[in-house]
Structure 1
Amino acid sequence: MRLTIWGAAQQVTGSMHLLQLSDYNILIDCGLDYEKDTFQEENQYFPFDPSSIDVVILTHAHIDHSGNLPTLVRMGFEGQILATPPTADLTELLLLDSVNVFISKQTKQYKGARHRSGPQPLYLQKHVMDTMDRFVTIAFHKEFKLNDDVSVTFIPMGHLLGAAAVVLTINDQDQEKKIAFTGDVGRKNYPVLVNPGAIPRVDYIVSESTYGGRFHSTDTTLQDKLIETINESCIKFPGRLIIPAFSIGRTQALVYSLNKIFRSGLLPPVKIFVDSPLASFATDIYRKHHHLLNEESQHFYSTKGDEFEFDELSYVQDKRESLSVSNYHEPCIIISSAGMLEGGRIQDHLYYNIQNYYCTILFIGYCAKGTLGNRLLRGDPIVRLRNRDLMVYASIKQTDLLSGHGDHNDLVNTIKSQDSAKLKGVFLVHGEPTRMTALKDALVGEGYRVTIPLKGEIYEL
């Protein structure tokens, strides 16, 4: 069999891996590569014929793994898309949201250039619906036969509701071979989500490496960090705390953590606004698949009620209500998307607060290079919003305690569950080159054979 890494090769976004058997082609993930300003143009063509793909297997719903599926369908893919039930539900939300982002970008560029419209959307709502029609859902730990020679099993990996490692068992010329794709590896004891499961013995692993060489903070707990930040931002001083958060996954974990803090009386009441319709829809999906949440979350629900509802919390629905939040003059917490500040209602809140000395912006997730979030984190004194250059007077803070990715130790331990003498190869993807190198060095030191592929490199397995 032949493996080609077509995405997330020495970068974080755009996961897409092609596994070719003698007469059967499997695509694992089909994500958007958005690390360039021209990402829509970069994603509209594939380095293979989409109609040649027999099946797509999706590790999880995040847009850097799922976001180019409608383009694949639009350009001729006619097979099934396999995923866990929560992944299918969340993917539909994210793909429809991507359509809105594409159209928004086109509209903004059209207004800014009298004789030139913005880039054409990669796909429209019709293409998303066509894509969703191709989904077939499979439960965790249930082996599913693709044909007489190939079967797939999903192993829960935390990170996001429904996220899975993909384990393929393949009869390749009368020889059984097993290959695992980790997707994104979660971390232990993450709010709401289960711990990552163990990957069974395989011959090859394609592993993410986002946090290679990096370690999550251990000097404080998430609860203590949130209490400290809220106290400084909203209680000691009558200010506001703005938290850019991905609508799906990060927002639910954050809301549950705040619920526990305020229900326990660890802080005086502070109004909290979740300003993201997408987050509201995603929260309903978390409720729908509540049996897949971790034991702590299920115990909380059975003893105290809904993890995602409490007195101080309001879900903002329409645009008019969102604008009214900007006129709320009491101390408050605003949770809004998008997490990297690229579009969404968060930009409205930034526009009105970036020059507010009494505003704190707390980043709780990764911001890719080139994004507005990354520019703020690196300390740019001026940012451009709504065609205006604005001075940054708000306090900029960051914590990795809500990162959904496992750190260096988590990644190493994921691989170390395999016998180094029997594991034939580890391929590192989904990480910056320095992170990949750090993880590779650690794994080589443990006796593993590790490769950092270039985009388009072919490996005979």
Structure 2
Amino acid sequence: MKLTIHGAARQVTGSMHLLELDHYKILVDCGLDYEKGTWQEENALFPFDPAEIDVVLLTHAHIDHSGNLPTLVRMGFEGQILCTGPTADLSELLLLDSVNVFLSRERRHSKRKRGNSGPKPLYLQKHVMDTVQRFVTIGFNKPFRLNGDVEVTFIPAGHLLGAAFIVLRVQDRGEEKTIAFTGDVGRKNYPVLNDPAMIPPVNYLVSESTYGGRFHSKDKTLTKMLTEVINEACIKNPGRLIIPAFSIGRTQALVYSLNKIFTNGLLPPVKVYVDSPLAALATDVFRKHHHLVNQEAQEFYRREGDEFEFENLVYVQDMKESRELANYFEPGIIISSAGMLEGGRIQDHLFYNIQNYYCTILFIGYCAKGTLGHRLLRGDSVVHIRDRELAVYATIRQTDLLSGHGDHSDLVNTITHQDPAKLRRIFLVHGETQSMQLLQEDLFDRGYRVEIPEKGQVFEL
């Protein structure tokens, strides 16, 4: 049995791992790699023949895990893509949205270069629909036999609705071997989502390491933090609170948290706008798979009704309504994508509010270096938005209480559930180098054998 780490090696994005058996090849995740300036071109080629892959196993829908599946299909993959039901539904939304991103990027490049075409889209809507046809959904905790030698089980991972740890039981030349892939590890007590389950004992573990060496804040609850920020931004000072949020996962967690605050009378009513068509579609997926949300959300639903609807909450329908928000001067909250401020309707809201002393911008997620969100968080006094240099007068705030990733303690807790005497090797992926090294050091001290693979590195298991 041979494992090759083809993506998210010593970096965060582009998860893609190839497991090769005799006459059978399994690809775990097929995500977009955003790490280089030429990322679109970089993702156009695979280090293997897509036609030779027998099956793809998908941990969850986020684009750094699913986003290059249509390219794989376009280049000859003809097998099935196995995942949970919510992952299939959310992936379809995100992949179709990626097509819009590609086309928009091409148009912007052509406009800047006066008609010279930019990078061609990696794939089009047709390729997404061809990909969706290959999805086969598997329930949680239900072993599924891929062939006579391989059995796969999807274990709840938290992090996102439908996200799974993938556990493979393999008969390899007369010996049984087990290997698990974490995808992304969720955190406990996250709004709407169940806690991550424990991975059963395995021989090999491929684990993410995004928050290695970092710990989430514990000095305040999410409810207390949001209540304080809204009170300061919209009630004490009748201004505007803008929250950049990823449309799938983060927005639903935030809306539910706001619902609890206003339903329980912790604050006077404030108008809340969700300005993201993708978020509205994703919320319908959460409703469709409501049996998979956590017990607290289900009880709230039975007691109060839909956790993603409440008085004064408005899902903005089109660009006309979105633009009209610029002329709305009452105190209010605007939730819009994208979370790092790179494109999307959020840039319009920033354009009109970044110089507003009565505006607060609350970041609830990670912002990669080089993004507009990162520049605001580091304290830049002037930023470039929509071809203009604008002074930053708005208040900038940040919290990690809505991060969907488990922190160092969560990662260690997930991994150390394994017996170090039986777990032969851990492979750390999906993290910055320093995060991987800090997690590796901690695991070394606990008696585990830990590798930090390079991209393309091959391991005989």
Give TM-score scaled by structure 2 length. Answer: 0.99
Q: Which residue of 2 aligns with 1:406?
A: 406
Q: Give yes or no for contact 1:36–1:370 (8 Å, CA) kept in 2.
A: no
Shift of 1:36: 2.4
Distance 1:301 1:115 in 2: 52
Task: Give identity over the alignment, percent.
Answer: 73
Would you say 1:350 and 2:326 are equivalent positions?
Answer: no
- Once the two structures are TM-superposed, the CA of residue 433 in structure 1 deviates from its matched residue by 0.5
Shift of 1:387: 1.7
1:86: how far off?
0.4
Counterpart of 2:12 in structure 1 is: 12
Q: CA deviation at 1:372?
A: 1.9
- Amino acid of the structure 2 residue aligned with 1:393: Y
Provide the residue aligned with 2:388 in structure 1: 388
Q: Any conservation in 2 of the 1:203–1:422 contact (CA below 8 Å)?
A: yes
CA offset at residue 378 of structure 1? Answer: 2.0
1:37 deviates by 2.6
Deviations 1:420-447 (A, max 9, x none): 1110000000000111111011111110
Query: Contact between 1:35 and 1:368, CA under 8 Å: does it hold in 2?
Result: no
- Contact 1:35–1:370 at 8 Å: present in 2 too? no
Cα contact 1:192–1:297 (8 A) shared by 2? yes
| Segment of structure 1 superposing worse, 384-393 or 174-183 | 384-393
Residue type matched to 2:189 in 1? Answer: N
Deviations 1:288-336 (A, max 9, x none): 0000000000000011100000002000011100101111101110000
- The amino acid across from 2:5 in the alignment is I
Q: CA deviation at 1:403?
A: 0.3
Partner of 2:86: 86
Describe the superposition over 1:156-190 as per-residue Cα deviations: whole angstroms up to 9, x where unpaired. 01100000000001000010000000010000110
Partner Cα distance (1:361, 1:247) in 2: 17
Structure 2 SS opposite 1:447: coil
For 1:105 and 1:360, the matched residues in 2 are separated by 29
- The 8 Å contact of residues 155 and 167 in structure 1, kept in 2 or not, is answered as yes
C-alpha displacement at 1:385, in angstroms? 1.6
> Counterparts of 2:194 and 2:373 in 1: how far apart (Å)?
28
| Mean Cα deviation higher: 173-182 or 346-355 | 346-355
Amino acid at match of 2:63: I
Q: 1:276, 1:345 within 8 Å by CA — same for their partners in 2?
A: yes
Q: Report the aligned-residue RMSD.
A: 0.9
Distance 2:382 2:48 in 1: 42
What letter is aligned with 2:163?
A: A
Distance 2:383 2:15 in 1: 29
Letter in 1 for 2:114: R
1:259 aligned partner: 259
Q: Find the counterpart in structure 2 of residue 233 from structure 1.
A: 233
User: Once the 2 structures are TM-superposed, how far is the Cα of residue 283 of structure 1 from its aligned partner?
Assistant: 0.4
| C-alpha separation in 1, matches of 2:42 and 2:389 | 28
Find out whether 1:36 has 2:36 as its counterpart: yes
In 2, the alpha carbon distance for the partners of 1:242 and 1:119 equals 32
- In the TM superposition, residue 93 of structure 1 has moved relative to its aligned partner by 0.3
Alignment match, 2:161: 161
1:326-337 to 2 correspondences below 5 Å: 326-337=326-337
Counterpart CA distance in 2 for 1:377 and 1:102 is: 27
1:67 aligns with 2:63: no
For residues 72-129 of structure 1, the C-alpha deviation after alignment (integer angstroms, 9 at most, x for no partner) is 1111111110000000000000000001111111111111111412211111000000
CA distance in 1, matches of 2:339, 2:396: 14
Shift of 1:34: 1.0
Instruction: Give the corresponding residue for 1:316.
Output: 316
Cα displacement (A) at 1:243? 0.5
Give unmatched runs, 5+ long, in structure 1: none
Instruction: Say if 1:84 and 1:162, in contact at 8 Å, map to a contact too.
Output: yes
Matched, 1:120 2:120: yes
Once the two structures are superposed, the pairs formed by residues 38-437 of structure 1 within 5 Å of their partners are 38-437=38-437
1:208/1:430 contact within 8 Å kept: yes
Separation in 1 of the partners of 2:375 and 2:271?
Answer: 29
Distance 1:71 1:213 in 2: 34
Range 129-138 or range 110-119, more displaced: 110-119
Q: Distance in 2 between matches of 1:15 and 1:220?
A: 33
Question: How many pairs are equivalent?
Answer: 461
Paired residue secondary structure (2:176):
strand
Q: Distance in 2 between matches of 1:370 and 1:82?
A: 35
Give the match's secondary structure for 2:146: strand
> Aligned residue for 1:457?
457
1:13 counterpart letter in structure 2? T
Instruction: Calculate the TM-score normalised by the size of structure 1.
Output: 0.99
State the shift of 1:396 in Å.
1.4
2: CA distance, partners of 1:229 / 1:243: 11
Q: Give 1:161's aligned amino acid.
A: L
Alpha-carbon offset, residue 371 of structure 1: 2.0
* C-alpha distance in structure 1 between counterparts of 2:381 and 2:433, whole Å: 28
Distance 1:157 1:115 in 2: 46
Secondary structure of the residue that 1:390 maps to in structure 2? strand
One-letter amino acid matched to 2:153: T
Aligned partners of 1:430 and 1:370: how far apart in 2? 19
Structure 2 SS opposite 1:65: helix
Deviation at 1:232, TM superposition (A): 1.1
**One-letter identity of the residue aligned with 2:266:** L
Per the TM alignment, residue 38 of structure 1 is displaced from its structure 2 partner at its CA by 2.2
Gaps of 5+ in 2: none
The aligned amino acid for 1:244 is: P
Tell me which amino acid in the other structure corresponds to 2:299: H
